[in-house]
Structure 1
Amino acid sequence: MESEPPLFQILVNDRGWREYEVFIQRFVKAARQLAELEGPASIATITIERRQFYRWMHGELRSAPRREASRVLTFMFQLPVERLFAPAPTSSRSLRNEQVESSSASDWYEHDAEDLVTAAAQESARFAVRAESSNVGPHTMEQLESDIRRIVTTYPNRPVGPAFREVRELRNRAFELLEGRQPPQYTRDLYVAAGVLCGVLANASFDLGRYEAAETQARTAFMCGELAGHNGLRAWVRGLQALISYWEGRPRDAVRLSESGSAFTPEHGTAHIRLASIRARAHGQLQQANDALTALHGADALRDQLTSEDDLPGGMMAFPQEKQLFYASSTHLWLGGGQHLADAEVRAEQAVNMFEAAPADQRRLGEMSLARMDLATARLNRGDLDGAAAQIHDVLAVSARRGTESVRRRLGQFARTLAQSPAAGSPAAIGMHEAIAAHHEHSRAELAPGGTP
């Protein structure tokens, strides 16, 4: 009696990977993803020979695959290697049940309910892609653009980690579509979609304190904008690159990148207002008061001329009035002095009020916290400890739900300024310092640079 084929053969045939050239592409791609997700980096170079693949297909194993190859196979199929190379179940129903039970058990313990709902929606979207006669059609693009609008709208209000995982999955889908064949009219739209998603991943990497990864994602996003010929995307990405430089303490690079972005004229929107506002903060960091104020006035003039919405999907990619106000408050804080501190406080308070006016589930939490940090710093510098403390405690409450590296840094800067102030020994100052220290201790593991998002 002929022996049952290995489960590996059934799964490979079911996925359409029965040819070595097809399978090895999937294997190499999985190895790279595993290296990026779990490490070590050397696993990205793992491959297998043609002869070995066909031995696996026919169950002719002389020994178990070596450890690195086993890890890649487990990552690809979400099943242990021992099970992959055991005889396949005789019933296709039992095979499906086994896969469902294995994946659902691990999903339940590794992801929250929101992740499972998102995964189910993604599975349905992928089915719709396969059901269309071409690689990309109207429904595929409609679904992709709908997912992107949802992501950029909800990102500012969600914890960064779960959002990162969802955006990464969607970006991979866009990449896979671009690798296939699609009607020419959809190629540009796919490049814009992939660029936006890489831009969101860059922003998320930045929020997680992974600046090098953020810069890599931003470069890919800009390349997609170049390939699509989309000035709005190119200008937005240049702004993000300038923002990363600003936070890394490279204000001259931030000025250069923001000026470079201004060369791309989008058809609509706020991208140039954002670039001017970022440039103002960088000039402020450099103590170049005239240039900083000129950039702020330029941003105000562009706001007055604004007649239409962005040609990007909005949400986190838009630059609303309240965000412009707190960029202005940061600029005035850098410049220092009595009048600039007063201007910083006024603009930061206006920004906080506007952020708070949004419905609770639509508030831009990280940006609102940064505006509160500006307001707290301005009040501290004019001796209003109670006013500063009210803002700090609000920031800590939000950061416990949605922590970002930029807010963590600003809290650390505030704590150092507080320790050097004449009121450092007051009960209000001691209370703020202890609350910030406790928050840093609690969030260190989540936000420490070098962790895996």
Structure 2
Amino acid sequence: MTARDAAAHAEDAASLTVPDISLDRLHDAILDIARAYNSTSPPEAHRKAKELLLDAQDKLERTQVPRQREHLYLTAGQAAAMLSAVCFDLGALQPAVQHFRTAALYGQIIEHGPLQAYAHGALAFLAYWSGRPAAALNLVRTAQGFGGLGATARSRLAVIEARTHAHLGDREQAVRAIQDSLAIHHTDRDELHDDIGGEFGFTSERLAMSNATTYLLIGDATGAEEAATRALHLLDERTNGARPMLISSQAATDLARARLLRREHGGACEALEPVFDVPRDWRGAGVLERLAAARAQLTHPDFRTAAQVADLGERIEEFTAGSVSRHLGGSAHLTLDT
């Protein structure tokens, strides 16, 4: 009976599996979501990522094959990370935090360094957005300690570290981290940031755009204008269909903010003109926060008598009021003002 019971148990366990072709389909799905993220509206990306996460979780309940479970945990973690990115773009910060924590836990289960690093880096980003830069610095240090990271992952974490130091008021360390983000020239790759890429990647224009924001935080108008201009030039080299709207609108807003620091309101209006053409579904939290900071800059006494500035302030308010983020309850934290 013992042998028979053992055989029956083994047969039951062997029956708990899913077709490998289903795993291939899930892998293709995460590739599609990540790589098409910049050309997919946030609401549509949210729907796709949610469906993928539920599918991966369902299949985890149906297989006991270690190889398949590892694959499914990775897919579930990647889908959770995509959901987090969408939640952030829609201004829903608390769900974004929860999903990134879920991604980090899935990464821990299978000891996947790049997924854990990506999630912890994003949690650091959300921490300083929530006014906790000291906690953000601890999270980014943890992220930098995971193994298996390629050059793209390390550049991304250096950018997040730079912004953290800027929020802490440490200008010297912020500039050092910016320089570190630009000085990583080795060709090491990892399967998340490089092989999948897309939203998991960190392109040159995204790096420049992010560093522009850090320069603004430390009050360096020249550095911010140069970095934002570089980001926009890199984006101009792409075809129109491949131009990421979220990144381009943030870079343009940072360019405007740099010019406002110089009291060049005409140049700021010019930089913001394409931003006002961004469709309602694409007005993510990143650009809304930057616009809120620009709106605050417009209250400077030097602009008090400029009619053009008053008109610009009204356009910013109208643009923000019509965003999906605001209709979903997103709130402005003004963590980006200088």
Query: TM-score normalised by the shorter chain: which range applies?
Result: 0.7 to 0.9
- The equivalent residue for 1:319 is 202
Partner secondary structure for residue 264 of structure 1: coil
The amino acid of 1:346's aligned partner reads E
* Distance (Å, rounded) in 2 between the aligned partners of 1:378 and 1:207: 23
**Whole-angstrom CA distance in 2 between matches of 1:311 and 1:426:** 49
Superposed CA offset, 1:160-219 (max 9, x none): 112211210111000001111143222211111100000011111111111111111111
1:133-174, CA deviations, whole angstroms, 9 ceiling, x for partnerless residues? Answer: 973233112111111111011112222112211210111000
Q: Secondary structure of the residue that 2:36 maps to in structure 1?
A: helix
CA displacement 1:3-46 (0-9 Å, x = unmatched) = xxxxxxxxxxxxxxxxxxxxxxxxxxxxxxxxxxxxxxxxxxxx
Structure 2 residues not aligned, in runs of 5+: 1-14, 332-338
Alpha-carbon distance between aligned partners in 1 of 2:105 and 2:48, rounded to the nearest angstrom: 22
The equivalent position to 1:208 in structure 2, one of 83, 87, 90, is 90
Which structure has the larger Rg?
1
Q: Which residue of 2 aligns with 1:331?
A: 214
> How many Å separate the matches in 2 of 1:259 and 1:226?
16
User: Helix, strand or coil for the counterpart of 1:229?
Assistant: coil
Q: Within the alignment, does 1:218 sit opposite 2:100 as a pair?
A: yes
Distance 1:242 1:174, change over 3 A: same
What is the CA deviation profile of residues 296-319 of structure 1, one whole-angstrom value per residue up to 9, with x for unaligned ones?
A: 2222222x2234465441101101
1:285–1:421 distance in 2 versus 1, CA, 3 Å: farther
Deviations 1:30-87 (A, max 9, x none): xxxxxxxxxxxxxxxxxxxxxxxxxxxxxxxxxxxxxxxxxxxxxxxxxxxxxxxxxx
Q: What TM-score, normalized by structure 1, do the two folds share?
A: 0.66
Residue 299 (structure 1) aligned to one of 166, 181, 184? 181
> Among 368, 373, 377, which residue is 2:248 paired with?
368
Aligned to 2:143: 261
Mark the CA change 1:401 to 1:217 in structure 2 (over 3 Å): closer, same or farther: closer
Q: Is the 8 A contact 2:215 2:221 kept in 1?
A: yes
Counterparts in 2 of 1:310 and 1:346: CA distance versus 1, 3 Å: farther
Is 389-398 or 279-288 further displaced after alignment?
A: 389-398
State TM-score, norm by structure 2: 0.87
Q: Distance in 1 between matches of 2:137 and 2:164?
A: 6
**Residue 440 of structure 1: aligned partner:** 320
Aligned pair count? 314
Partner of 2:69: 187
Contact 2:114–2:190 at 8 Å: present in 1 too? no
1:157 maps to which of 9, 29, 39: 39
Return closer, same or farther for 1:249/1:388 CA change in 2, 3 Å cut-off.
same
Any stretches of 5+ residues in structure 1 without a counterpart? 1-132
| Aligned mate of 1:245, from 127, 130, 139 | 127
Q: Which has the higher contact order (CA 8 A, sep 6+)?
A: 2
Aligned partners of 1:324 and 1:346: how far apart in 2?
Answer: 13
Q: Indicate conservation of the 8 Å contact 1:266/1:311, yes or no.
A: no
Counterpart-to-counterpart distance in 2, 1:163 and 1:422:
42
2:323 aligns to what SS in structure 1?
Answer: helix
Alignment-mate amino acid for residue 306 of structure 2: S
Offset of residue 416 of structure 1: 1.2
**Matched residues in 1 for 2:53 and 2:141: separation?**
28
278-287 or 262-271, larger mean C-alpha shift: 262-271
| Aligned 8 A contact 1:379 1:385 in 2 | yes
1:145 aligns with 2:24: no
Matches within 5 A, 1:373-384: 373-384=253-264
Please give the alpha-carbon distance, in whole angstroms, between the structure 1 residues aligned to 2:131 and 2:236.
30
Query: What's the secondary structure of 2:202's corresponding residue?
Result: coil
Cα distance in 2, alignment partners of residues 389 and 448 from structure 1: 28
The correspondence of residues 22-61 of structure 1 with structure 2, limited to 5 A, is: none
The one-letter code of the counterpart of 2:24 is E
Judged with a 3 Å threshold, the aligned counterparts in structure 2 of structure 1 residues 310 and 298 are, in CA distance, closer, same or farther, namely farther
In 2, the alpha carbon distance for the partners of 1:429 and 1:306 equals 46
Name the structure 1 match of 2:267.
Answer: 387
Question: Does 1:280 pair with 2:145?
Answer: no
Q: What is the one-letter code of the residue matched to 1:446?
A: H
- For 1:412 and 1:215, the matched residues in 2 are separated by 22
Measured against aligned partners, the alpha-carbon deviations of 1:394-427 in whole angstroms (never above 9, x if no partner) come to 1221253412122112211111111225124323
- In the alignment, the residues of structure 2 paired with residue 245 and residue 357 of structure 1 have an alpha-carbon distance, to the nearest angstrom, of 33
CA-CA distance at 1:346 after TM superposition: 0.6
Instruction: Name the structure 1 match of 2:232.
Output: 352
Provide Cα deviations, 1:87-111, integer angstroms capped at 9, x if missing partner.
Answer: xxxxxxxxxxxxxxxxxxxxxxxxx
Task: Write the mapping of 1:6-25 to structure 2, written as runs, cut at 5 A.
Answer: none
